[in-house]
Structure 1
């Protein structure tokens, strides 16, 4: 099991914080450290993400074992928490995500197989998956994330698209410019 974790609760889905990526686009854009270690308002990008996860009160798992692709990371994290009633897939590079968004996605899994946050028409994270998605998530591999599982559940009418007011759900840090935008958004928060 990778990273520090809070043990899963029987009643709550586990937030899977994915921190295995190589951050190549960030380096190519001029970043001098890995994007998750990049400073943002006195903390690293990953520390901001983890602070939101902690504040949500949900159980969590940090997957940072250096897997080759997003699918591999998701499958490993689900395997490590296979007894959970569901999972919220949260890339570690979303430092502005709000705890309320995490709790809302977790709660939505009570009546759907997949819950996807949408901010002003843009799909975001975390994407929530209920227990019926277990086998599909465990089968993931390579660069693709869990889009195939979302598509499969959408065909069965089991996906809930949730409008959220949280710009943090769609503010990932892939480039130095993204980091600057995140810093501006963070500074503008009340």
Structure 2
């Protein structure tokens, strides 16, 4: 039986893709905007931003891997995470600073991949968001990424399925203090009765 190393633990390879939670960025824009400390540890509704993201991933039931080693760029982080989960049937690349992404969106993106898409990009009101999903056929290209550009070259080299979603959480990342305040307001609105 194939195994998958997830966060240092060998597990049976899942039937579905693995969510790669990218948590190794330096958060320079957040600090430059007046943030105090790492953006993934900034408090959102009394809990670190990364914890909100991980709560959604855990609730989805999908396997996941947190890539939190200090890599110089997003491409390096993606490559390391793919190499650590090489036997996966595919990957959902999710930056750790998307605390409002919905569980249903993660599942819809994973299902689109299972339905045969090579690359799946969620789109909210015309804006491309995350997680971006990749089939196993993209693995070698993803594992070879480096630098700040992320997986854009892999997306451009494959057939892309644009998945329309009603989830603002796919495009709200915590890059600045203002973005954190906006996320706080949106989270309160979600939790409001009615």
- Give the TM-score band, short-chain normalised: over 0.9
CA gap of 1:6–1:94, structure 2 versus 1, over 3 A, is farther
CA contact (8 A) 1:2 1:64 kept: no
Match of 1:189, SS? helix
Which residue in 1 is equivalent to 2:151? 146
Taking the TM superposition and a 5 Å limit, the aligned residue runs for 1:1-190 are 3=7, 7=11, 9-110=13-114, 111-153=116-158, 158-190=159-191
CA gap of 1:11–1:44, structure 2 versus 1, over 3 A, is same
Task: Tell me how far 1:6 sits from its aligned partner.
Answer: 8.9
The CA deviation at 1:33 is: 1.5
Q: C-alpha offsets along residues 47-104 of structure 1, whole Å, 9 cap, x if unaligned?
A: 0000000000000000000101000000000000000000000000000000111111
Q: 1:160 to 1:173 in 2, by over 3 A?
A: same
CA distance in 2, matches of 1:98, 1:86: 20
Between the aligned partners of 1:27 and 1:69, the Cα distance in structure 2 is 17
Partner of 2:157: helix, strand, or coil?
helix
SS in 1 for 2:93: strand
Coordinate RMSD, CA, aligned: 1.6
TM-score normalised over the length of structure 2: 0.92
Number of residue-to-residue matches in the alignment: 186
SS in 1 for 2:97: coil
Tell me, in whole angstroms, the C-alpha distance in 2 between the residues paired with 1:185 and 1:94: 12
Q: CA deviation at 1:5?
A: 6.9
Q: TM-score normalized by structure 1? A: 0.94
Unaligned runs of 5+ in 1: none
Deviation, structure 1 residue 139: 1.1
Deviation of residue 9 (structure 1)? 4.0
Shift of 1:8: 6.1
Unaligned segments of structure 2, at least 5 residues: none
Matched residues in 2 for 1:6 and 1:175: separation?
36
CA drift at 1:136: 0.9
